[in-house]
Structure 1
Amino acid sequence: MKKTIISFIIGLSIIAVCFLMLKSCIIQNPKPEDCVVVEVKVTNITEGGVKDIVFHDDGTDFYYINRGLERGLNLDSLKTKVLNKTVTLHLAKVLGGMTSEHISQLAIEDEIIFTEFNN
């Protein structure tokens, strides 16, 4: 009986830790202070995932706007604005400060092209 209770508590603890880790990977209501700011030269823009917009740099890195095509962004107009130009990206942090490829804000010079930040 005692082993069953201990096993139950350990199992419940493992489930709680897994839940918290998964929840920390979900990006909701990002704030500028929760992001890493990087400058990237965009060399290619494609559609990826489920209506995501993927920005490729001149190396092997890529960054994406989650469901960007559902949010009113257009691949052709983005290509005109940012292709082969250096942009400023706010990338959301996950799991204790690790940087994701999720774009919370995209700007070129002083023009904000996309943002998830609430004003």
Structure 2
Amino acid sequence: MNDHTSDNTRNRFSDKIKFSIVWKLNLKLFFRILGIFLALDIMLILLLLSGLIIRAEQTAAMTVDMLNQTGLPSPEAESWLKITEYSISQKTESANEFQIPENLQKFFP
């Protein structure tokens, strides 16, 4: 009877492959470190992406404030804007725009 139960425990996958305990522990540690590395990379990417979006919103808000104070650029300045690949013009029609939810608008200028 005892021989029958010991046969069932030997059918496990880890017992079929004759790894030493060192190999098993090293593989477990390797995959644990790999998982932590990938999780930290994903968190870092999300943090940098959110910082980039917030910085872009702040820059756009400062540009709008400056344009409200000074007005639209002169024709000489428009040639400089073409070099930098920016264009500033008055809005002529309403376009389909992305609307930020109202509860998130308090975080953006």
Q: TM-score range by the shorter chain?
A: 0.3 to 0.5
Between the two structures, name the one with larger relative contact order (CA 8 Å, sep ≥ 6). Answer: 2
Structure with more of its chain in strand, by fraction? 1
Q: TM-score, normalised by structure 1?
A: 0.33
Question: Is the helix fraction higher in 1 or 2?
Answer: 2
Larger radius of gyration: 2
